[in-house]
Copies of this chain bind each other. A is one copy, B any other.
Amino acid sequence: MHQIEHLTKIKVSTEKVYEAITTKEGLSAIWTPKLKVEPILGHVNEFDFDEGYITKMKVIALKESQQVTWHCIASDNEWQNTIINFDLRDKNNLTEIILTHRNWREITDYFRLCNYNWGMFLYRLKNYCEN
């Protein structure tokens, strides 16, 4: 199994970052406006990226201002059954966010493109939270 791992620093509280990655408002701005999300353990979030299928993410861990974990139960074949986790750490009034995307079966060009795109996701998250 292979994994994607990113860390970045966002100059706002963990509460604000947590809100951005768990709510319709935040995820609409950062990821796709076509979505159904609820900050509820067990809920299946849905994201539509205009690719002909809906990406479904079951919320399997949720700790306020600390952790969000999604189990990808539907998407393209390479994402199927992968796990996306966000850990948030308070560091003197800024937030360190660690994003991991685990359980990739192979390192493919799509893995490489998704690694780049997770970087862009975090960059947009950072801009959204800080501005």
Contact = CB atoms under 8 A, between A and B. Distances in A.
Interface residues of A, number: 19
A123 B122 CA distance: 13
The 9 closest A-B pairs by CB, nearest first: A119-B119, A7-B112, A6-B116, A7-B113, A5-B112, A8-B116, A6-B115, A116-B119, A7-B109
Contact of A8 (B7, B113, B123): B113
Interface string A95-131: 0101000000001010111011011101100000000
Interface of A: 4-8, 96, 98, 107, 109, 111-113, 115-116, 118-120, 122-123
A123 B115 CA distance: 12
A115 B115 contact: yes
17 contacts: A4-B115, A5-B107, A5-B112, A6-B115, A6-B116, A6-B119, A7-B109, A7-B113, A7-B116, A8-B113, A96-B109, A98-B109, A98-B112, A119-B120, A119-B123, A120-B123, A123-B123
Contacts of A4: 115
A2 to B, nearest CB: 9
A47 to B, nearest CB: 20
